[in-house]
């Protein structure tokens, strides 16, 4: 997910910018944005939305094209594209249907929103609220006239202040007023009804009634009260000032009703633009969803079809006889990874079986040749030996002393060569008459330990690394496998010695490891010797192929035959600093 965001960061920035512009346009049409609602601003916003939307489409198209080129294999392009098209259609078609249905519902709801009945209800509600407030405010005007009239016809302020004060108190209670004051033109308080607090009146109100006997209404919507002031003509420089508080939050309700009505008619006027901005927002969201679905389809199909193509390619190469092919290990679904692993394991087993079969056929052919050679060579050796004995007994006394020594040397040389031929014939016979293995349950670890203990005396400077804690018991011929281990470890020691003659200082290591796998047991011997440089490792197990001056070339051939008889296979690998021999004993 993080990698996807990093790869498509620019597309996501454009997406969020375009989406934000869409919402700003939507709220501007509703007159709820920080941008003023006018034709010029709306045009600018719509054009900007279209430009960003086009850029968004172009970026998505390029990204999808690049993904297809990078992820779709040529061999599987038809299947991949079909898969991506189906996946995209399954996302696009529902999205289009939902968008059309949503737009229809939105348009229908918007039209119903401006139904005549709803419009009438909105207008009437606002009118009722306004009439209620106006009624409350107008009543203050009649109340102040009545209070002024009563004050004028009853007690004079100058005659009896105490009685006048009581009269003011009674008028405030009778008229249900919250404040009742007598002030002068300088807004100074002359007298006030009990239980009220005088809040100085605005200068403009006093000036407006200085030369006018009519009452003046004062409305303060923020403090939620209505007031009135009137000049008392019977008195010099005296004004009656009254205040009545409206019901709690009544001005707030009126203000909210007015805002709601204004919003209602704003939406009605801008309904087309609201629909357009709604469509823009929906298109932006659907486009991103479609892009994500196509991207996921490309990734998913590439993971799936690349593996399928690799399997097809590998099977074709196997069909042509190339068993060295491998299906590349790639990150894909667990089931597909398991299939690839099993396929590669099958190829390895098939190659091993083929190698075993070839080795068996090769060994059988060499056994036949060795048997015939041993027979043909051994037959003349006895007459030759008898002839040499006759020559020695018949002519030894007749030869002069100065030639007798030379005569004996020549006969001895012939005897030595005959002995070498006999040894070679015996090896041929041994190779041709390899006994069938006698299988018994033995421990391979014990065989390795015995051979290490025996062979490490040849060179005490060699480090043997072998983990001997775990046993590895299975059925094998003890003598034959012991011969295999002896030959292989001895070859590693000889390789280290030979390298020691050429290189003064190096670490002499022989690492031996036994592992128990699911279907085979592996024995690996790794050394830091000369290795098999400039040698084709497949030639090493051929009879009579040797790299030693005094070798017969039958040692590794016998080793290979024994392993083949034990349902195993041997392989040789060159390393940068040494060589590795691996044996697999299949269960």
DSSP string, 292-322: HHHHHHHHHHHHHHHHHHHHHHHHHHHHTT-
For the segment 151-163, the average pLDDT, to the nearest whole number, is: 66
Domain match, 414 and 396 both: yes
Is 7 within a domain? yes
> Most confidently modeled of 26-30, 133-137, 227-231?
227-231
Q: How many domains does the chain have?
A: 4
Percent of the chain with pLDDT over 90: 12
| More confident position, 261 or 116 | 261
Task: Using the predicted structure, report yes or no on whether residue 582 has a pLDDT greater than 90.
Answer: yes
Whether 424 and 510 share a structural domain: no
Judged against a pLDDT cut of 90, whether residue 276 lies above it is answered with no
pLDDT at 113: 52
Q: Are residues 571 and 502 in the same domain?
A: yes
Spell out the alpha helix ranges (H) of 535-586. Answer: 555-565
Identify whether 156 is part of a domain: yes
More confident residue, 448 or 216: 448
- Residue 471 sits in the same domain as residue 405: no
471 and 560: one domain? yes
Q: What does the alpha-carbon distance between residue 569 and residue 563 come to, in Å, rounded to a whole number?
A: 6
pLDDT of residue 74: 47
Clarify whether residues 498 and 567 are in a common domain.
Answer: yes
Mean pLDDT (whole number) for 510-515:
94
Assess whether 283 and 340 both reside in one domain.
Answer: no
Q: What is the pLDDT of residue 326?
A: 79
CATH number, domain at 498?
3.30.565.10
For residues 450 and 580, state if they share a domain: yes
How far apart CA 50 and CA 73 sit, in angstroms, is: 36
pLDDT surpassing 70 at residue 299: no
- Lowest mean per-residue pLDDT among 43-57, 218-232, 317-331, 481-495: 218-232
Going by C-alpha positions, the residue among 268, 258, 330, 254 that lies closest to residue 299 is: 330
- pLDDT, tens digit, 9 for 90 and up, residues 536-549: 666 676 665 555 54
Q: What is the pLDDT of residue 455?
A: 92
Q: Looking at the predicted structure, is the pLDDT value of residue 317 above 60?
A: yes
Residue at a domain's end among 384, 404, 432: 432
How does residue 283 score in pLDDT terms, banded at 50, 70 and 90? confident
Per-residue pLDDT at 247: 65
- pLDDT tier for residue 153 given thresholds of 50, 70 and 90: low
Mean pLDDT value across the chain: 76
Q: Look at residue 197 in the predicted model and tell me its pLDDT.
A: 81
Whether 406 and 536 map to the same domain: the answer is no
Percent of the chain past pLDDT 70, that is, above it, reads 66
| Total Cβ atoms within 10 A of residue 276 | 18
pLDDT of 111? 60
458 versus 302: the higher-pLDDT residue is 458
Nearest CA-CA partner of 113 in 122, 125, 100: 122
User: Mean per-residue pLDDT for 482-507?
Assistant: 89
Reported as a single tens digit per residue, the pLDDT across 327-375 is 777 776 677 778 888 888 888 888 877 777 777 776 676 667 766 766 6
Q: Which pLDDT band, with edges at 50, 70 and 90, does 84 fall under?
A: low
Last residue of a domain, one of 211, 226, 253: 253
Verify that 60 and 16 share a domain, yes or no.
yes
| pLDDT greater than 60 at residue 257 | yes
**Residue 366 belongs to domain spanning:** 334-432
Q: Domain end: 203, 218, 253, which one?
A: 253
Residue 378: alpha-carbon gap to chain centroid:
74
The β-bridge partners of 219 are 226
Domain-located, residue 261: no
Buried b (16+ CB within 10 A) or exposed e, 312-326: eebeeebeeeebebe
The pLDDT assigned to 464 comes to 94
Residue 130 lies in a domain: no
Asked if the structure places residue 323 within a domain, the reply is no
The CATH number of the domain where 152 resides is what? Answer: 3.40.1840.10
Task: Kindly state whether residue 453 falls inside one of the protein's structural domains.
Answer: yes
- Residue 243 pLDDT more than 50? yes
- pTM of the entire structure? 0.43
- The answer to which of 187-201, 454-468, 476-490, 572-586 has the lowest mean pLDDT is 187-201
**DSSP structure class, residue 200:** P
The helices-and-strands tally (H runs, E runs) of the chain is 14, 12
Burial of 495 (0-12, 13-18, 19+ CB in 10 A): buried
Average pLDDT, stretch 6-17?
A: 72
| More confident of the two residues 303 and 353 | 353
Do 505 and 581 lie in one domain? The reply is yes
Is residue 118 assigned to a domain?
no
Most confident of 22-36, 173-187, 223-237, 321-335: 173-187
The per-residue b/e assignment along 238-267, b for 16 or more CB within 10 angstroms, e otherwise, is: bbbbbbbbbeeebbeebeebeeebeebebb
For residue 583, the model assigns a pLDDT of 94
Q: What is the pLDDT of residue 473?
A: 93
Q: Tokens 């894909």 correspond to what residue?
A: 332
Residues 340 and 461 grouped into a single domain = no
For residue 431, the model assigns a pLDDT of 64
Distance CA 522, CA 518 (A): 11
**pLDDT tens digits, one per residue of 90-133:** 766 776 777 677 667 666 665 655 555 556 655 666 666 666 66
Domain annotation covers residue 187:
yes
């Amino acid at each position: 997910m993080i990698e996807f965001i990093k790869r498509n960061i620019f597309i996501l920035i454009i997406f969020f910018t375009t989406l934000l512009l869409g919402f700003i346009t939507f709220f501007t049409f509703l007159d709820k944005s920080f941008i003023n609602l006018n034709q010029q601003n709306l045009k600018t916003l719509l054009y900007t939305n279209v430009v960003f939307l086009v850029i968004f489409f172009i970026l998505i198209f390029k990204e999808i094209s690049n993904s297809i080129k990078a992820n779709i294999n040529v061999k599987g392009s038809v299947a991949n594209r079909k898969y991506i098209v189906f996946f995209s259609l399954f996302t696009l078609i529902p999205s289009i249907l939902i968008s059309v249905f949503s737009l229809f519902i939105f348009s229908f709801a918007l039209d119903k929103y401006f139904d005549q009945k709803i419009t009438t209800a909105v207008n009437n509600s606002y009118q009722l609220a306004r009439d209620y407030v106006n009624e409350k405010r107008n009543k203050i005007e009649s109340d102040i006239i009545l209070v002024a009239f009563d004050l004028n016809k009853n007690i004079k302020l100058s005659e009896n202040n105490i009685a006048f004060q009581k009269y003011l108190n009674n008028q405030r209670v009778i008229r249900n007023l919250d404040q009742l004051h007598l002030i002068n033109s300088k807004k100074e308080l002359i007298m006030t009804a009990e239980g009220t607090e005088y809040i100085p009146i605005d200068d403009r109100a006093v000036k407006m009634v200085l030369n006018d006997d009519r009452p003046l209404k004062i409305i303060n919507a923020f403090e939620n009260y209505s007031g009135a002031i009137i000049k008392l003509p019977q008195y010099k420089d005296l004004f009656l000032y009254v205040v009545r508080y409206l019901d709690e939050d009544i001005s707030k309700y009126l203000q909210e009703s007015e805002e709601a009505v204004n919003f209602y008619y704003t939406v009605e006027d801008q309904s087309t633009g609201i629909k357009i901005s709604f469509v823009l927002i929906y298109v932006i969201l659907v486009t991103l969803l479609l892009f994500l679905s196509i991207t996921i389809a490309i990734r998913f199909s590439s993971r799936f079809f690349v593996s399928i193509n690799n399997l097809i390619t590998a099977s074709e190469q196997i069909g042509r006889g190339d068993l060295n092919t491998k299906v590349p290990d790639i990150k894909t679904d667990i089931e597909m990874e398991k299939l690839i692993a099993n396929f590669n394991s099958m190829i390895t087993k098939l190659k091993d079986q083929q190698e075993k079969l070839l080795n068996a056929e090769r060994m059988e052919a060499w056994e036949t040749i060795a048997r015939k050679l041993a027979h043909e060579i051994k037959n003349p050796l006895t007459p030759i030996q008898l002839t040499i004995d006759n020559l020695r007994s018949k002519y030894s006394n007749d030869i002069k002393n100065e030639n007798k020594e030379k005569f004996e040397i020549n006969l001895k040389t012939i005897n030595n060569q005959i002995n070498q031929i006999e040894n070679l014939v015996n090896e041929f016979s041994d190779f041709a008459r390899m006994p069938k293995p006698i299988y018994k349950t033995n421990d391979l670890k014990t065989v390795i330990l015995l051979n290490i203990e025996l062979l490490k005396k040849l060179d005490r400077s060699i480090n043997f690394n072998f983990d001997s804690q775990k046993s590895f018991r299975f059925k094998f011929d003890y003598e034959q496998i012991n011969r295999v281990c002896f030959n292989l470890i001895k070859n590693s020691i000889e390789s280290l010695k030979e390298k020691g003659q050429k290189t003064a200082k190096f670490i002499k290591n022989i690492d031996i490891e036994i592992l128990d796998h699911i279907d085979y047991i592996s024995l690996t011997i790794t050394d830091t010797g000369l290795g098999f440089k400039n040698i084709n490792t497949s030639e090493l197990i051929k009879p009579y192929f040797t790299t030693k001056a005094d070798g017969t070339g039958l040692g590794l051939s016998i080793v290979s035959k024994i392993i083949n008889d034990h349902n195993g296979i041997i392989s040789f690998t060159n390393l940068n600093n040494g060589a590795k021999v691996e044996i697999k004993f299949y269960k």
